[in-house]
Structure 1
């Protein structure tokens, strides 16, 4: 099928943000996603105050989505605990709830949704399982999942992996976690824990492949080893986690940034820049990339893609490098010792770090 309208591959936050911006301007974009039902992707269960403001701009009221209020950060390294207030209220919200709301907003704005699994993509052509899609402009918004012909380079000797386990609401976890976003540092990685809608607990780990290998490649054994060495983490897991589903994603290229692109091909979200999850700004950056790419297209059409990609890369470089440095430090013994002391002595430091890990979309002309 040959399309005159922009084609957006992926109906996640970045793709839907682009679709909303384009549809509002009368561009009639076509969203392609592999599933008619909205899933619950592994990454992005924390919505910063910046993400909440962006959602409102896109016509989504975050207060209607049932998220769990978050107002402070707790940092754990072994037996050491420190906490600091967040500068503004945030939300623990599942990707299912977020993506459902954004997809609905995109369709109401005038975007069209098609269901197909894209196997490969090159400028001007997306090859799906059902058919071929031809378009002068393609927005690639497939998240952390690469599409053939557009794979991001993976050169790390000990690559990063993602692991997520979702646990049901319980009085113990509600009492322990409360209104916090928790960050647990451990050897080989870190875990983020936050309550989401209904009081369920979302536990996401970012770790090195070597840490999983040391557990015999078994994610459950890995969680057991982390819990054995970190009592606070074990308390959050509780006794009911063994039957819960564990989801993983491999070889995440944290720190990668797309610096250029051909005409008619816009990279969005994690296909444009992959910021370490430690910063808590992944969703904000995804939304900013979609909005920014759409505005460039509205101003210059397909030929604006290279200018957009270079501009976004320039905006992404400082926060991505800062988040990479913070992640590297968090994985060291010195970082484990210094982080709680820093949080106690300079409680505004970590929130300011998050403030600098941001990308704002330029105002429309």
Structure 2
């Protein structure tokens, strides 16, 4: 996936058509930034740049909108940033979330969110943001990127010479601009989408759930079409215990944790399990190559249990655009953004480390039940 900015995501087709793939290799000169990845981070940058009168090129591999693995929850802070560019999450038919339900071993606790959040598929969110970017004047280019260097971007069909590169390829690294992976037991991402069902809707209505277990956790939230997004972060060693088979792991978790089993009972036989490997949770880009602005997961990767990954994406896109428009260099922007994300990322890491043990998970559930205000304070601490 190293040459796949934006994963399976693409454009909905509003506004101008994408640039066609050339029959032979072409050389492209771009005065405005070349944005690699048309997810929330890249599209947000494109919106700000285009509305400022530039003509950014937004690169993605697929003209059709796909559904990225995780990121199906928008916090209240993220919703504010989206409304600021004219996208009200409610317009997407999102599922409104007002409560956190925390399952730790045999304990369960609930706490109200400081403000309403939203469950939404990445297909709906990415498509809406991409449409806004194209409507604002960004040009969508369909291309698979192979490598990145300052002022040079190599694609399968051409070479680009942009004034600046906005690297917004999500969890997928691009050759020449990879992130370090030094964890002894890295986290892996798994996702299943449970189809709509009245009983499932009754279980999850108005809430986002966190199911904590040894070696990982699962987040569950309803989305705009009534389906439930089940997104897990698990240690590689845990998956290895089941021969690397995600379905065997899910079956084992359902056997051990009855509330999780009650949700997974709505999964039909043969439901696909999407995976992504070696997610560098806790990574923060404190430096970058001149001319390469890192956005979204390329700038910082917060543990997904915090529910702020989309917040980091849209905030970094807006800030990188403003930095470039204000003639702030990429290294200066990167240091400033690293300072902003340090607190929420470190707080989320500490919470995740506590939750990975049975005693820690039980303690978190007990503390949430006794003092819901404490849980709300922790939620606020992990916001950008």
Question: TM-score normalised to the size of structure 1?
Answer: 0.96
Q: Runs of 5+ in structure 1 lacking a partner?
A: 360-365
Q: Is 2:347 the partner of 1:322?
A: yes
Is 2:314 the partner of 1:268?
no
Alignment partner of 2:276 out of 233, 249, 257? 249
Partner Cα separation in structure 2 for residue 120 and residue 11 of structure 1: 17
Q: How far has the Cα of 1:327 moved from its partner?
A: 0.6
Root-mean-square deviation (CA, aligned residues, Å) is 1.0
Q: Moved runs in structure 1, 4+ residues, more than 6 A? A: none
**Offset from partner CA, 1:288-346 (integer Å, 9 cap, x none):** 1010111010111xx62111001001111111111111111110222112011110111
Residue 22 (str. 1) matches residue 33 (str. 2) = no
Matching residue within 338, 357, 364 for 2:382: 357
User: What count of residue pairs does the alignment treat as equivalent?
Assistant: 357
Q: Mean Cα displacement is larger for which, 101-110 or 303-312?
A: 303-312
Aligned match for 2:110, one of 64, 67, 83: 83
State the shift of 1:239 in Å.
Answer: 4.8
Q: Contact 2:114 / 2:380 at 8 angstroms: preserved in 1?
A: no
1:2 aligns with 2:40: no
Match of 2:191 among 144, 152, 164: 164
Report deviation, 1:163.
0.1
Range that drifts further, 93-102 or 127-136: 127-136
Please give the per-residue CA displacement for 1:140-169, whole angstroms capped at 9, x wherever unaligned: 000000001111111111100000000110
Describe the superposition over 1:53-73 as per-residue Cα deviations: whole angstroms up to 9, x where unpaired. Answer: 111112212111011111101
The CA deviation at 1:83 is 0.5
TM-score, normalization: structure 2? 0.91
TM-superposed CA distance for 1:180, in Å, is 0.8
Q: Is the 8 A contact 2:188 2:277 kept in 1?
A: yes
Q: Structure 1 residue 226 and structure 2 residue 253: aligned? A: yes
Inter-partner Cα distance in structure 2 for 1:106 and 1:328: 38
Contact (CA 8 Å) 1:185, 1:191: kept in 2 or not? yes
Alignment match, 1:348: 373
CA contact (8 A) 2:194 2:266 kept: no
Further displaced range: 277-286 or 303-312? 303-312
- Does residue 143 (structure 1) correspond to residue 141 (structure 2)? The answer is no
